[in-house]
Structure 1
Amino acid sequence: MESRILVLDGNQRAALAVTRSLGSKGLWVGVGESSDMSLAGSSRYCSRTMRYQDPFSSTQGFFNEILDIIKQYNITFLLPITEATAYVLLQYRDRLPPSVILPIPSNDRIEMLADKNHLQELARHLQIPTPDSLLCQNRADGLKALDACTVFPIVLKPFKSKILDDGEIISTSVAIAYTQEEARALLEKRRDFSYPFSIQSFIEGEGQGVFALYSNGQPVCFTAHRRLREKPPEGGVSVLCESHRVDETMQALSHKLLHAAQWNGVAMVEFKVAADGTPYLMEVNPRFWGSLQLAVDSGVDFPYLLYCTHTGLELPKVNYAPPKRVRWLLGDLDRLYLVLKAPRSRYSFSRKLLEIFRFISPNRHTRHEVNRSNDLRPFWFEIRQYLKALKSET
Structure 2
Amino acid sequence: METTDHSIVVPVRDATTAVLSRHKSDIEETGTIVAVEDWETFDRAYDKGQLFSLAESLNVPAPETCDPSSVAEISEIAPEIPYPAIVKPRSKTVRDESGKCHYTRVDDTHYVESADELVATYHKLLEVYPVLEEQAHYPLIQEYIAGTTTTTVVLAEEGEILTHFQEERIRTYPSSGGSSTLLRGIRDPRMLASAREIISALDWTGPAMVEFMQPPDGEPYLIEVNGRYWGSLPFAIRSGVDIPWQHYRLLTELDVEPPDYSQTASLHHRLLYGDIKWLNEQLQHGNPTAVLHFLWACLRANQTFVSIEDPKPTLWVLCQGIILGIRTVLQRVLKTKPAGGGGTE
Which deviations, in whole Å up to 9, do the C-alpha atoms of 1:46-104 show, x marking residues without a partner?
Answer: xxxxxxxxxxxxxxxxxxx9xx5xx33x3211010012011222233233254211111
Which deviations, in whole Å up to 9, do the C-alpha atoms of 1:252-272 show, x marking residues without a partner?
Answer: 111111111111001111111
The sequence identity of aligned pairs, in percent, is 25
Aligned pairs for 1:259-274 (under 5 A) are 259-274=200-215
Which deviations, in whole Å up to 9, do the C-alpha atoms of 1:108-129 show, x marking residues without a partner?
Answer: 1111111111111110110311
Other structure's SS at 1:129 match:
coil
Pairing 1:187–2:123 present = yes
Contact 2:24 2:38 in 1 (8 A): no
Q: Which residue matches 1:81? A: 12
Q: CA deviation at 1:326?
A: 1.4
Q: CA deviation at 1:193?
A: 5.2
Contact 2:94 2:132 in 1 (8 A): no
Contact 1:294 1:324 in 2 (8 A): no
Q: TM-score when scaled to structure 1?
A: 0.72
RMSD: 2.7
Pairing 1:341–2:284 present = yes
Find the structure with the greater CA-based Rg.
Answer: 2
Contact 1:142 1:187 in 2 (8 A): no
Q: CA deviation at 1:187?
A: 3.5
Q: Which residue matches 1:249? A: 190
Over 3 Å counting, the alpha-carbon distance change for 1:315 and 1:130 in structure 2 is closer
Question: How many angstroms apart in 1 are the aligned matches of 2:220 and 2:275?
Answer: 25
Q: CA deviation at 1:288?
A: 0.8
Question: How many angstroms apart in 2 are the aligned matches of 1:371 and 1:77?
Answer: 28
Residue in structure 1 matching 2:313, options 362, 371, 378: 378
Contact 1:336 1:359 in 2 (8 A): yes
Which deviations, in whole Å up to 9, do the C-alpha atoms of 1:214-260 show, x marking residues without a partner?
Answer: 11222211210111111211122111101122x11111111111111
Residue in structure 2 matching 1:331, options 253, 274, 291: 274
Over 3 Å counting, the alpha-carbon distance change for 1:185 and 1:197 in structure 2 is closer
Residue in structure 1 matching 2:228, options 287, 292, 297: 287
Aligned pairs for 1:129-144 (under 5 A) are 129-142=61-74, 144=76
Unaligned 5+ runs, structure 1: 1-64, 343-348
Residue in structure 2 matching 1:119, options 48, 51, 62: 51
Q: Which letter maps to 1:334?
A: K
Q: Which letter maps to 1:316?
A: E
Q: CA deviation at 1:380?
A: 4.3
Q: Which residue matches 1:53? A: none
Pairing 1:106–2:38 present = yes
Alignment size in residue pairs: 314
Other structure's SS at 2:34 match:
coil
Q: CA deviation at 1:325?
A: 1.8
Pairing 1:307–2:307 present = no
Q: Which letter maps to 1:87?
A: A
Contact 2:173 2:181 in 1 (8 A): yes
Question: How many angstroms apart in 2 are the aligned matches of 1:169 and 1:288?
Answer: 19
Residue in structure 1 matching 2:264, options 314, 322, 329: 322
Question: How many angstroms apart in 2 are the aligned matches of 1:116 and 1:204?
Answer: 19
Contact 2:21 2:42 in 1 (8 A): no
Other structure's SS at 1:104 match:
coil
Other structure's SS at 1:362 match:
helix
Pairing 1:209–2:148 present = no
Contact 1:295 1:302 in 2 (8 A): yes
Contact 1:143 1:187 in 2 (8 A): no
Question: How many angstroms apart in 1 are the aligned matches of 2:147 and 2:63?
Answer: 12
Over 3 Å counting, the alpha-carbon distance change for 1:139 and 1:168 in structure 2 is farther
